[in-house]
Every structure is written in C-alpha cells, then in structure tokens.
Structure 1
Amino acid sequence: MPSGPGPAVGPVDPAGPERSRQPGAAPAGAALPVPRERDPDDGELTAWLTGRVTDYARAARAASTWKAYDADLRHFRAWCAAQPGTPVAVPASALTVAGYLAALADAGYKPSTIRRRLAALSVAHQLAKAPVNPAASVEVATVWDGIRRVHGVRPERKAALETTLLTRVLAALDEPDGTGAEPAGPAAALAAVRDRALLLVGFAGCLRRSELVGLDVADVEVTADGLVLSVRSSKTDQQAAGALVGVAYGSYRPTCPVRSWQAWTAAARVEDGPAFRGINRHGQVGAGRLHTSSVARIVQRRARAAGLDPADFAGHSLRSGFATAAARAGASDRAIMRQGRWRSASSLDSYVRAGRLFDRDNPSSQVGL
C-alpha cells in the first residue's frame, strides 16, 4: 500500500521535466518524457515515468490518509496471523474480513474506526488487483449493518467552545501567568498573545485545525472590514481550489480577532512564513508551523486555566463552537455554511442543532405549561 515518501526517481529523460518537479508543476507546453529504455519490471513505461504514475496516484489521497490505511492494514495482517489456520490477509476471503469486523466490534472499537479499517482493506485489495474485493461483498456489508445497529454510529463529540465559554477562556489569558499552571515570564506572555490570536482567528474563521495551522502570514490580509483569510486547501477541497474567508472586527478589543492577529504578528515579529509557530522556553519564536495536534493542546490547556474540564474540549471545539453560536444568534444556515465551507446542510445540521434547541418556534414553549 502506498505510504511515506515516493520511490526514488531515476534518471530524467532529456525531453522530460526536471527531476525535482512536483506533481502538477510541469511548465505549460512541456513535452511528456519519451520512454527510451524499458524497465524490466514494466513492459510499457520507463522506471522514471512509472515512479511519476505512483506519485500522482498517491496524491489522490492525503498523506495522513495513506498513513492511517497503512496502519490499518498492518493491524489486519497481525490479526490474521494470530487466527487458527492463519487466513490470508490479501487477498482475503469475505468470511475473514467479516470475522475481523466482528472481532473489532466485540473488542470495543468505535464504529468510525471500524468503517475506516474497512475502507483501508477495500483500497488494499483494489491496489493488489484482487479478482474479488471482499470489503464489497454481501457478507461483509451485512455484518457491518449489524454492527451499526447494535453499537450505533453516533460519533463522540467534544463540547463546543461557543462564545460564552470562549470569552471565559480568553479572560483567563489576562491572568499573570496566562495559563494558570505555568510560571510567568516572557515565554508565557508571548504564548498568551499567540494563543489569543489562534483561538479567535480559528473561531471566527470557523477553521478546521489543519486550515488554522496551515495559514501563512501571506494568507492573512488586514483590510478596513477585517481579516481576509486565504484557505489554500482543506478537508473538503482536496484539489486545493482554495477559498477566501472574511473575519470581521470584534466589538470588544479583548475578543477582536483582527486586533489579536495584529498583536501576535507585532510581538512575534513575523512577516512571512507560517502564521502560528512554536515558542521555546526562552521566549524565542520558532520558524516552523504548529502541528494540528497543537491546536487541541492549546484549547485544552487554556480551558483548564479557565476552570473548565479540558477533557470536554478539542481542536474541533472552535469550529463547532462558532457554528453553535452563529445558529443561536439567528444566522442562516446558508451563511454558516459559507463561513465554514460545509458542502451540505446535512453536514452542518449536527453542529447547529444544539444552538437552535430553544428557538422561538420550539413547540414545548407553546403548549401552555
């Protein structure tokens, strides 16, 4: 299964693109490489062009997806090796895959994890050119339906960090150490400035974690109306068409995402490169961008400092918090979908439902109690 770096690229045909060129980066009008020597393992393509085919095929999914699929396949192979009779993992029989799903369900794995592992097995058999894909069999589909009926498919959601809670978290940043747990000092003070900007931009922009840490300074433009964020790619934009997101000025300085962003860039003295970066214990700003997992750690650390249970929150709490708060404030579904770049109302519904439980048309307030 494809995973990790691509295969080594062989000598480049003089008529072809440069060796270092990335997928999709060939200049306009560049000629395709002409196969002059045949790879002994491939009767049609040179080794270089075969490698490029692999590179583009790998680009069809995110690197994190391939990494997860690879881990899932290793888990399945290990499970097969531990079974009586040692069933073959790839190509596997429908009964083997169905048994694997049943074992996962009985072991307490979440339906979402089981669904992803089933997808990984399906892709593995497609890439192996198996004559029959057991993941698509009637037997496996029936067992999967049974697992969903018995164990349910409702995902475990973290709490939404809606406006009231976010304001409470931001107020705790004004405490002497800014964290409630760390010693005061230049590093803690600078981290508080960064975290305020990260929380507010992530919340008001309704950004996913990957979108938030993926921002560069050049992607954030300060205008008279507010910030214009250039989101280059996202979970629902795998082809990187990009999108612009507007973040308006806040009514109050401590909770204004625009002023918080300006304060962070001024304090960190960052003019280009990653927008949000790590800070060492000496108060020095790093050159690399934060990891997606850093968003969750920042949210949880700041929630703890505000007296909230950090286990209730995660990086996604900013995005869900904005959707909940916007719905509660009466924003239309269309407006919320545009800000969060949701493709369908059904995807948005689980986010805004909590914010509209007690709308004026709630019938429980109209029955005379």
Structure 2
Amino acid sequence: MSTEVEVFDAELADDSVAVRPPAAAPGPRYLVTQHTMLGPGELPPLADARPAWTDDDFRLSAEDMAELGEPDLADNTIKNRDSTVRAFEAWCAAQKPPRLAHPCTTATYTSYGLHLIRRGKAGEFVPDSVGQYMSRIWNWQPVDYRPDPTRFKGRLRVWKKEWVKAGGEVERAAAVTIEYNVRIIAKIDESTNIGKRDAFLAALAYSNLHRESELADQLVKRVRVHDTGLWVHTATSKTDQTGKGSGRFIEDRPDLQLVRRARAWFGVLHELGADGPDDPLFRALTPGGKLVQYPSERKRGKKMRPGSLNERLQLLAERAGVPYIDGKKVSSHSWRAGPNTDLIEAGVSLAERNKAGRWADGSHTADTVYDRRHGVGTRDPLKKVPLYGGPANAAVAAARAEGEDHLPSGPAGTAGSPS
C-alpha cells in the first residue's frame, strides 16, 4: 500500500462568497456624439476607426506651397494687421513674465484688450478702433487656438456706451452731395489729361457710390459707354469677396455729364496706348499727362493705390474750397455718403440704395452710417402733423359747435352735459 500523499496549494473560501467567472473580452467601443444619426439596424462608427490616410495625403507640392505663400489680403489690410500684431507682440514680450503672443491664451487676449480700453479711456483710442485692433489679433491666431473674445467684447460694449454718453462721437467723412460734387468738378481744368481723368473720377465715384478700392481695381472692359449713360460692372467689393460682381446702368444727366467725361478720358487712354480691356480704368499720370511707369515687380502692377485715389479726391475738394463740409473732412468715402444722402432725400428705398451701393441685402448701413445730411436737414416727421389752431382745427371746432346746437340742454344750461 502506497504511503505517498499528494499536496495541493489551496485557499479556503467562505461558502457565502460567490465565485466570479473570468472577465469576458472587452467588446467594440463606438463613437456617439450629439450629431450621430443611425438608421434601423445600423451601428455607430467604431471609436478607434480612422480614415485610411497615408503620408501622401498630408503633402503639398512645391507649386502649392509657393502659391499659398502669396498674400491673400489687400496691401493696406496687411499693413494694418502687421502693425497691430507688432504692437501686441511687443506688449506680450514686455510682461513679467513674458506672455506667448502666437498662439495666445484667452487670458492674454482679454488682458491686452483691457489694456487698450484703459488707454482709450485716457484719450488715446476710440472704442471702434480698439475693436478693430482686437479683431485683427483674433484673426491672426491659428484657427484651432483662437481665444474666446466674449469677456473683452462685453467690456468694450460697456465702454462704448459710457463713451457715447460722455459726448464721444465717431468721426465720419463729409457727404459730397450733388451740389458739392458739381462745384468740385467745375474747378477742374478739363483741357488737360489729368483734368479729364479727375473730372470723370469725381463724376463716376458719385454716380456709382464707389469705394476707393473699387475705383482702383476697376478695368476698362467693365465700363461700357452708351449715348444715354454708362453700364458699370463692379467685379468685387467689400461685401462681395467671391467675385460674383454687380452691374448697373447709370443714366447720363446734364449736371454730371458722365458720358461726355467718360469718352474724354477713354480718348486719353487710347492716345496713351492704355485702353486694353484688362488695363486699369484709372491711371497715375505725370505732370505732363503721360503714364507713370511702375517697376515690373510692383504688386499692383499698373493699378493706382486706393490711397492715391483718396488723396486725389481730397485735393480736388481742397482746390474747390471745400476740404471740410459741415465740419467734417472730405475723403473718398464722401463720394459714397453724398449720393446715398441725396437718394434718401429723394425718397429712394433702402433696398434700391443697397443695390446701387453694393451693400449687403437687408443691411441698414446705408441708413445708419451713410445718411449724412448737411446742417439741420430737411426731414422732420412732425411736419406731417397739422398745426393746432390752423384751418383743420377751425373746421373741427365748427363741426363740433354745430353738433352741440342740436343736442338737448343738460343741467345748468350745459348742452349735452353728462350726468
């Protein structure tokens, strides 16, 4: 008989403790968000599922990179943005400890905005300027790291209300209405090439409510001259960056003589060999009336700078003795505000003015910003209320008196007195 004993390692367990079965293998994990929509029997996408991208899907060609390296903003916009960004970077570097400017945190963005507001309250800036500065900084930040501007904008709104209550007023350009534009054009010597250009510039700017950038970018082929007026196509504008374009017919009128002046300027362009369909409509001229020759590498090519057209229009107003109108300085925007103000006085609807001035559909800017009447204006709704004591009042009083004569007498001899 064998005496060997088999020994096992074991642990006594309480009968009341249930023995857990081995854990099952984890099942698939699904990705479900508030936007998930599933059809009958359809399963959500797996949480770890990824598109089958390869390294090539993330690569751009050298040609692509070169094209993306080209600026996609107007020169003036880039200049303003870079100036604002440099000021922000300098402020961040001067903090103790220094702050990161790009990408910046919401705290850094808000702190800088409050810093500008404090400087504005001291008289250095106006609220709208601070808003523009902070908008440029926000747009400069990487898309995925842009700060939350909510708190800054809240403080900016509060300051703007306080600023307005304290007498603050946004400086806006004067309105070159028709009487001022005719006066300005009358002072131009239209016997010269420069004069022919300037007269047409002032007439067209008013007639089509042009922005200076639209005038600077206009091409010869987009202006067609007819005996009765001009057809003008504006390819791009501030509210149309996609290039959809907007065209309208502008009827000629004796005070502006748009057709005659257009033909005179087109004749000059033809003589100078600058009337090709893709040539700029307005060209810089030497004092002798010849074309200014630009370097071949110039970004704008043959086109004048928008700022140059603004300076030219301001010079024309100064020569006519109206550099200021109603205490407001004349600028290129005056040729946009002026016709809009005239159209309002003539009873033209907002929808028609939005179309003529290429404002966005439904915009009220033409009413709230570009209505700049001279002096006290001429539109007072109270004028529609009849004068008390006038003919209408006398007729009503007579009718009432006649009616009372036919009423029975009340107590104390008062006709029709209520009890």
Which category of TM-score, normalised to the shorter sequence, fits these structures?
A: 0.7 to 0.9
C-alpha separation between the residues in 1 aligned to 2:386 and 2:169?
A: 31
The letter for the 2-side match of 1:48 is A
Deviation at 1:336, TM superposition (A): 1.7
Alignment partner, residue 312 of structure 1: 329
Deviation at 1:317, TM superposition (A): 0.7
C-alpha separation between the residues in 2 aligned to 1:92 and 1:360?
A: 50
Alignment partner, residue 48 of structure 1: 62
CA RMSD in angstroms, aligned pairs only: 3.1
> Would you identify which runs of 4 or more consecutive aligned residues in structure 1 move more than 6 Å?
none
The answer to whether the Cα contact below 8 Å between 2:127 and 2:156 also exists between their aligned partners in 1 is no
Deviation at 1:361, TM superposition (A): 5.8
Alignment partner, residue 115 of structure 1: 131
Deviation at 1:67, TM superposition (A): 4.2
- The structure 2 residue matched to 1:145, chosen from 154, 157, 161, is 157
The answer to whether the Cα contact below 8 Å between 2:350 and 2:364 also exists between their aligned partners in 1 is no
Q: Which runs of 5+ in 2 are unaligned?
A: 1-52, 294-301, 389-419
- The structure 1 residue matched to 2:315, chosen from 287, 301, 309, is 301
Q: Which runs of 5+ in 1 are unaligned?
A: 1-34, 179-185
The answer to whether the Cα contact below 8 Å between 1:98 and 1:143 also exists between their aligned partners in 2 is no
The letter for the 1-side match of 2:330 is F
The letter for the 2-side match of 1:347 is T
The answer to whether the Cα contact below 8 Å between 1:220 and 1:230 also exists between their aligned partners in 2 is yes
Give the direction of change, closer, same or farther, for the CA distance of 1:122–1:302 in structure 2 (3 Å limit).
same
Deviation at 1:233, TM superposition (A): 0.9
Listed one character per residue, the Cα deviations across residues 306-359 of structure 1 (whole Å, up to 9, x for unaligned) are 111357111111011110112112322222222111113412112564459755
Larger radius of gyration: 2
Alignment partner, residue 217 of structure 1: 220
Give the direction of change, closer, same or farther, for the CA distance of 1:64–1:103 in structure 2 (3 Å limit).
same
Paired residues in the alignment total: 311
- The structure 2 residue matched to 1:332, chosen from 343, 349, 359, is 349
- The structure 2 residue matched to 1:163, chosen from 170, 173, 178, is 178
Alignment partner, residue 281 of structure 1: 287
C-alpha separation between the residues in 1 aligned to 2:257 and 2:178?
A: 12
The answer to whether the Cα contact below 8 Å between 2:216 and 2:282 also exists between their aligned partners in 1 is yes
Give the direction of change, closer, same or farther, for the CA distance of 1:37–1:243 in structure 2 (3 Å limit).
same
Alignment partner, residue 187 of structure 2: 172
Deviation at 1:243, TM superposition (A): 1.3
Answer yes or no: is 1:271 the counterpart of 2:275: yes
C-alpha separation between the residues in 1 aligned to 2:377 and 2:150?
A: 43
C-alpha separation between the residues in 2 aligned to 1:87 and 1:93?
A: 9
Identity %: 23
Specify which structure has the higher proportion of helix.
Answer: 1
Give the direction of change, closer, same or farther, for the CA distance of 1:261–1:53 in structure 2 (3 Å limit).
closer
- The structure 2 residue matched to 1:190, chosen from 185, 193, 198, is 193
Give the direction of change, closer, same or farther, for the CA distance of 1:155–1:280 in structure 2 (3 Å limit).
same
Deviation at 1:170, TM superposition (A): 1.2
Give the direction of change, closer, same or farther, for the CA distance of 1:52–1:279 in structure 2 (3 Å limit).
closer
Alignment partner, residue 247 of structure 1: 250
- The structure 1 residue matched to 2:118, chosen from 88, 106, 127, is 106
Deviates more, 1:288-297 or 1:91-100: 91-100
The answer to whether the Cα contact below 8 Å between 1:94 and 1:137 also exists between their aligned partners in 2 is yes
Alignment partner, residue 92 of structure 2: 80
Give the direction of change, closer, same or farther, for the CA distance of 1:243–1:88 in structure 2 (3 Å limit).
same
C-alpha separation between the residues in 2 aligned to 1:203 and 1:105?
A: 37
The answer to whether the Cα contact below 8 Å between 1:205 and 1:246 also exists between their aligned partners in 2 is no
* Length-normalised TM-score, structure 2: 0.66
C-alpha separation between the residues in 1 aligned to 2:234 and 2:349?
A: 22
The letter for the 1-side match of 2:127 is P
The answer to whether the Cα contact below 8 Å between 1:161 and 1:322 also exists between their aligned partners in 2 is yes
- The structure 1 residue matched to 2:209, chosen from 198, 206, 210, is 206
Equivalent residue runs for 1:90-101 within 5 Å: 90-101=102-113
Listed one character per residue, the Cα deviations across residues 200-221 of structure 1 (whole Å, up to 9, x for unaligned) are 0111011111111211111110
Give the direction of change, closer, same or farther, for the CA distance of 1:367–1:157 in structure 2 (3 Å limit).
farther
C-alpha separation between the residues in 2 aligned to 1:91 and 1:138?
A: 17
Aligned-partner SS, 1:240: coil
